[in-house]
Chains A and B, each alone.
Chain A
Amino acid sequence: NAGVTQTPKFQVLKTGQSMTLQCAQDMNHEYMSWYRQDPGMGLRLIHYSVGAGITDQGEVPNGYNVSRSTTEDFPLRLLSAAPSQTSVYFCASSYTYWGTGVEAFFGQGTRLTVV
């Protein structure tokens, strides 16, 4: 049981480059989210999805795009990388909505450096 899989684990980008962070889950979860983790800032929500074809913005969406064409996959796209996007990115999933207290399953994370 793979759970939530993120690729790549590490990435270095030059300012202005674009890239896609991949996230896939094999638990048939409806809810998926992307977070970024910065020192002293905790986990901040970038974008989230409540099902295939449905996405919405979180707290810090600028500079990022998402799509959800299947239940399994929720890629995060950086349109034009900036040094301020240097961070650790986590994808999380849950089988239903957070209001019920269900746990979030996290991927291993992608450590991104923008130079």
Chain B
Amino acid sequence: GQQVMQIPQYQHVQEGEDFTTYCNSSTTLSNIQWYKQRPGGHPVFLIQLVKSGEVKKQKRLTFQFGEAKKNSSLHITATQTTDVGTYFCAGPRGAQKLVFGQGTRLTINP
């Protein structure tokens, strides 16, 4: 079945450094979503990408959807301590299921 793989599993950076997490699907996705989970919290929706090659920005966060709609990335410029958490990508499996990647846990040294 369709799998959504996410790398890296962990990333530790110095505050101010950039951070990138990658998401790859074994099949073409109709859309991809990104979520952030703060330590001890629940996943919170960040954004969805629908179009091939789409790029969206939210302040220091840049989201990309690959041309083949099988991969995506989230890039954070100049990380801040508020960026700490686990970032998940998610894609639909058919119409009725939402499948998540394993997540990338970001820790930051202030």
A contacts, CB < 8 Å to B = 31, 33, 35, 40-45, 48, 50, 56, 58-59, 90, 92, 94, 97-109
A residues within 8 A CB of B30? 99-101
B66 at interface by CB-CB < 8 Å: no
Closest residue on chain B to residue A49 by CB atoms: B96
A22 to B97, CA, bound (A): 20
**Is there contact, CB below 8 Å, between A41 and B102?**
yes
Task: Give B43 Cβ to nearest chain A Cβ, in Å.
Answer: 5
User: Given A43-B88, A43-B100, A45-B99, A101–B43 Cβ distance below 8 Å?
Assistant: no
Closest residue on chain B to residue A57 by CB atoms: B97
A residues within 8 A CB of B102? 40-42
B residues within 8 A CB of A40? 9, 102
Interface residues on B, range: 20 to 34
**Is there contact, CB below 8 Å, between B101 and A42?**
yes
**Is there contact, CB below 8 Å, between A98 and B97?**
yes
Selected from B43, B95, B97, B101, the residue in CB contact (under 8 A) with A58 is B97
Closest residue on chain B to residue A111 by CB atoms: B40
B contacts, CB < 8 Å to A = 6, 9, 30-31, 33, 35, 41-45, 48-50, 88, 90, 92-103
Selected from B41, B98, B103, the residue in CB contact (under 8 A) with A104 is B98
A50 to B6, CA, bound (A): 27
Task: Give B54 Cβ to nearest chain A Cβ, in Å.
Answer: 11
**Is there contact, CB below 8 Å, between A103 and B45?**
yes
**Is there contact, CB below 8 Å, between A98 and B45?**
no
B residues within 8 A CB of A104? 33, 35, 43, 45, 90, 98
A64 to B88, CA, bound (A): 24
**Is there contact, CB below 8 Å, between A101 and B50?**
yes
Task: Give B89 Cβ to nearest chain A Cβ, in Å.
Answer: 10
